[in-house]
């Protein structure tokens, strides 16, 4: 009997040159490229916006045809940018790669993401079904991606990173958008001057996001919306005007395509931008909560088994309750503070003051090996436990009737099972006293409000030792 020739064996017998020949270059679809003319706004030498006439090539159809035909797309380097006017759609098992210097720009007024997976749907009205179909094994690598937010206040008509121009999935908001996915990888990309989240993942599982460079970025770098599990985010660097990394299990509904627990995530090798060059948040956010849907259904949106390690110069680790300030804090809020379980900080470096701000019911917190390289003042504490209070002076300093509280200063939180060690200054290997490392907050109402702010509250942190 002759041996059966398996597919794997057959592939081994194919000469490597023949395999490579099966993948055609992007230039083979050059006939689908359109040349168009439009205007863009860019800052002049003084920083004032000026309007430029642009004639350039739009490559969306050519790139999509390449992906559709062979399941792979490589975008080579060239002197001119490639323009897209709608998202490139990557299906299960497909790979999109670009030369590190290839620049892809979103045509003004497109107002969408630039790349997304195939099955993006609205999932914000109820818990995500357990049998929700997922796109799998997608790789996006390389390239410089920009939606042309050329200044802090100019985004050339590309404000939202929606999944599509028509009937977009609610809450989708990324330059790279991956929703309903498993086994996806995004790596070695630069996000430049963009208004949506750099990489937005939602209902994502077994994912890797690594080596993400942010250049004058205008929103979160890597933003994960629950449910999400078993992910690695590493090597995020550059200047973000918001959170470098955000894990939002509960979230403001206008930016949430879904809700649910986030668990077993590692965030590592994140470097904040130098403070003297940029005044953004330079933060990492964890946002747990309890979602109440319109039909009254309640969903636990806790955050569990999270490791943050080898983090340098992040100013704020934000783990506090924060109602929706854009849609109205009394109309979109978590039903009580959220829950965090097994949160680990390891190998943190602070060359400037930074703080872990914890206002969540927390069971299991470990902080180990923290290098403090800045001068320590008497009011400095690495860990603040309890509700913050801050007044947003909407309407200006003379309109206190329009002011409102940013946080939830009337809500208690409880912390238990804590381990802290190895917090020391540059010139000492002796641990700082725990009283200097930690602060438990007990809010009080401010009797002089609004003459002085903040308003304060009645909530407190409770540390069960």
**Residue 100, domain CATH:** 2.160.20
236 has which bridge partners? Answer: 212
Average the pLDDT over each of 97-101, 282-286, 323-327 and give the range with the smallest value.
Answer: 323-327
Q: 39 in a domain, yes or no?
A: yes
Residue 33 · residue 58 · CB < 8 Å? yes
192 has which bridge partners? Answer: 215
Which residues 6+ apart lie within 8 Å of 155 measured at CB?
147, 148, 149, 195, 218
Q: Tokens 């503070």, residue? A: 337
What are 58-90's pLDDT values in tens digits?
Answer: 999 999 999 999 999 999 999 999 999 999 999
Token readout for 184 is: 């996806």
Average pLDDT, stretch 273-292? 82
Q: How many CB atoms lie within 10 A of CB 339?
A: 21
Model confidence band, residue 17 (pLDDT cutoffs 50, 70, 90) = very low
Q: How many CA atoms lie within 13 A of 183 on its CB side?
A: 10
361-391 exposure pattern, b = at least 16 Cβ within 10 A, e = fewer: bbbbbebeebebeeeeeeebbbbbbbbbbeb
Average pLDDT, stretch 385-403? 93
Q: 220 in a domain, yes or no?
A: yes
Residue 66 · residue 91 · CB < 8 Å? no
Length reported for the chain: 465
As a whole number of angstroms, the distance between CA 204 and CA 181 comes to 5
H or E stretch including 35? strand 34-43
Q: 42 in a domain, yes or no?
A: yes
Give the three-class secondary structure for 154.
strand
Q: Give me the helices (H) in 349-398, please.
A: none
Return the percentage of the chain with pLDDT > 70, whole number.
94
Average the pLDDT over each of 179-183, 248-252, 265-269, 397-401 and give the range with the smallest value.
Answer: 397-401
H or E stretch including 104? strand 103-106
Q: How many CB atoms lie within 10 A of CB 221?
A: 27
Q: 209 in a domain, yes or no?
A: yes
As a whole number of angstroms, the distance between CA 385 and CA 67 comes to 50
What are 290-326's pLDDT values in tens digits?
Answer: 999 999 999 999 999 999 999 999 999 999 999 998 8
Domains held by the chain: number: 1
Which pLDDT does position 280 carry in this prediction? Answer: 59
Q: 13 in a domain, yes or no?
A: no
Is the whole model's pTM more than 0.85, yes or no?
yes
Average pLDDT, stretch 362-373? 97
Residue 439 · residue 391 · CB < 8 Å? no
Q: 180 in a domain, yes or no?
A: yes
Which residue range(s) make up the domain with 238?
Answer: 32-464
What are 423-447's pLDDT values in tens digits?
Answer: 999 888 899 999 999 999 999 999 9
Residue 298 · residue 264 · CB < 8 Å? no
What are 202-261's pLDDT values in tens digits?
Answer: 999 999 999 999 999 999 999 999 999 999 999 999 988 889 999 999 999 888 999 999
401-439 exposure pattern, b = at least 16 Cβ within 10 A, e = fewer: eebebbbbbebbbbbeebebeebbbeeeeeebeeeebbb
Q: Which of 416, 418, 408, 425 is nearest to 459 (CA)?
A: 408
Average pLDDT of the chain, as a whole number = 93
Which pLDDT does position 342 carry in this prediction? Answer: 98
Average pLDDT, stretch 3-30? 61
Residue 419 · residue 368 · CB < 8 Å? yes
Which pLDDT does position 277 carry in this prediction? Answer: 52
Residue 4 pLDDT exceeds 50 = no
Q: Which of 235, 85, 211 is nearest to 147 (CA)?
A: 85
Average pLDDT, stretch 382-390? 97
357 has which bridge partners? Answer: 318, 384
Q: 19 in a domain, yes or no?
A: no
Token readout for 242 is: 């918001």
Residue 175 pLDDT exceeds 80 = yes
Q: 342 in a domain, yes or no?
A: yes
């Amino acid at each position: 009997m002759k041996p059966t020739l398996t597919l794997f064996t057959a592939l081994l017998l194919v000469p490597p040159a023949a395999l490579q020949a099966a993948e055609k270059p992007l230039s083979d679809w050059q006939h689908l490229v359109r040349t168009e003319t439009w205007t863009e706004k860019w800052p002049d030498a003084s920083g004032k916006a000026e309007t430029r006439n642009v004639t350039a090539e739009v490559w969306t159809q050519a790139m999509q045809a390449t992906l559709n035909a062979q399941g792979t797309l490589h975008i080579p380097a060239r002197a001119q940018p490639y323009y897209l006017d709608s998202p490139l759609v990557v299906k299960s098992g497909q790979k999109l790669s670009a030369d590190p210097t290839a620049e892809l720009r979103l045509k003004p007024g497109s107002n969408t993401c630039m790349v997304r997976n195939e099955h993006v749907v609205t999932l914000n009205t109820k818990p995500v079904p357990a049998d929700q179909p997922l796109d799998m094994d997608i790789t996006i690598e390389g390239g410089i991606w920009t939606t042309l937010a050329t200044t802090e206040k100019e985004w050339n008509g590309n404000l939202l990173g929606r999944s599509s121009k028509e009937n977009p999935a609610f809450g989708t908001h990324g330059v790279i958008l991956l929703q309903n996915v498993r086994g996806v990888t995004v790596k070695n990309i630069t996000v430049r001057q963009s208004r949506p989240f750099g990489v937005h993942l939602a209902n994502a599982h077994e994912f890797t996001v690594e080596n993400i460079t942010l250049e004058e970025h205008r929103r979160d770098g890597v933003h994960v919306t629950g449910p999400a599990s078993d992910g690695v985010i590493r090597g995020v660097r550059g200047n973000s005007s918001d959170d470098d990394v955000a894990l939002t299990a509960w979230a403001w509904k206008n930016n949430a395509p879904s809700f649910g627990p986030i668990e077993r995530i590692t965030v590592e090798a994140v470097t904040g931008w130098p403070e003297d060059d940029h005044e953004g948040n330079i933060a990492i956010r964890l946002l747990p909560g309890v979602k109440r849907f319109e039909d009254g259904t309640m969903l636990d949106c806790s955050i569990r088994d999270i490791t943050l390690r080898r983090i340098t110069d992040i100013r704020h680790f934000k783990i506090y309750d924060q109602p929706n300030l854009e849609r109205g804090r009394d109309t979109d809020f978590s039903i009580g503070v959220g829950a965090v379980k097994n949160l680990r900080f390891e190998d943190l470096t602070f060359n400037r003051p930074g703080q872990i701000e914890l206002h969540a019911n927390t069971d299991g917190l470990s902080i180990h090996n923290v290098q403090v390289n800045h001068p320590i003042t008497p009011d400095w504490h690495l860990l603040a436990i309890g509700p913050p209070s801050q007044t947003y002076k909407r309407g200006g300093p003379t309109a206190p009737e329009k002011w409102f509280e940013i946080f939830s200063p009337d809500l208690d939180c409880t912390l238990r099972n804590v381990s802290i060690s190895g917090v020391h200054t540059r010139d000492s290997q002796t641990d700082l006293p725990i009283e200097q490392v930690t602060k438990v907050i007990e809010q009080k109402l401010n009797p002089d409000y609004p003459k002085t702010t903040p308003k304060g509250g009645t909530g407190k942190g409770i540390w069960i030792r």
